[in-house]
Amino acid sequence: MRPLIILTLLLLTACSTPKPNPTPPPPSTTPPQPTGLIIRPGTVDAAMGLRVLDIQLTNHGPATTHINGYPDIRILDKDRTPINATIGHGSNGITTGLQHFDRPPQTITLQPGQTAHAGLLWRNLVTETDRKATLGVYLTITPTPTAAPQTIEPDGGIDLGNTTTLGLSPWTITP
């Protein structure tokens, strides 16, 4: 009798409905939050051929970061080939009256969540009719000497004409 009971229990266990596998959660639609120092292009202010791009550097890390000086910038064309351009510190003779471009750099303490700014200045001038106008599409920016370079695509690009001369302001924090 005992073997019959055990056999019956085994058969009942084998015939029971298996538990369905749990449904996996839906994939996340929220992109992962950036970490570290992140560069984003601001708007380009364009008036009478003079262009100024606001470059934003935000500390998305957990600790304060100290920055000083100027970002290192390379201009790239649509194929990401470097463009030969002169990027000087300050207004670089491009214009006058932009004192924040010509201030000396100062050490900045960038708290988590805080943003610093640098400006890139140029004119869209065609001074040589036998030379094609230059259009930069991307900027590769190294925010500090120890940080990794990042590539951004400013809205409208960097329309240099054929002067290929730009000015660069130091990093600042606006109150």
What is the per-residue pLDDT for 53?
94
Q: How confident is the model at residue 7 (pLDDT cuts 50, 70, 90)?
A: low
With respect to residue 136, please indicate whether it lies within any of the assigned structural domains.
yes
With respect to residue 13, please indicate whether it lies within any of the assigned structural domains.
no
> Which tokens sit at 46?
């364009």
Q: Residue 123: give the domain boundaries.
A: 37-168
With respect to residue 5, please indicate whether it lies within any of the assigned structural domains.
no
Residue 26 to residue 38: CA distance in whole angstroms: 29
Asked which of 11-20, 25-34, 86-95, 122-131 is least confident by mean pLDDT, the reply is 11-20
Residue 119 to residue 71: CA distance in whole angstroms: 10
With respect to residue 164, please indicate whether it lies within any of the assigned structural domains.
yes
With respect to residue 2, please indicate whether it lies within any of the assigned structural domains.
no
Assign residue 46 the CATH number of its domain.
Answer: 2.60.40
Q: Is the pTM value of this prediction over 0.85?
A: no
Burial 120-139 (b: 16+ CB within 10 A, else e): bbbbbbeeeeeeeebbbbbb
- DSSP 8-state code for residue 89: E
User: What integer best gives the mean pLDDT of the chain?
Assistant: 84
Domain count, the chain: 1
Could you give phi then psi for residue 122, rounded to 5 degrees? -160, 170
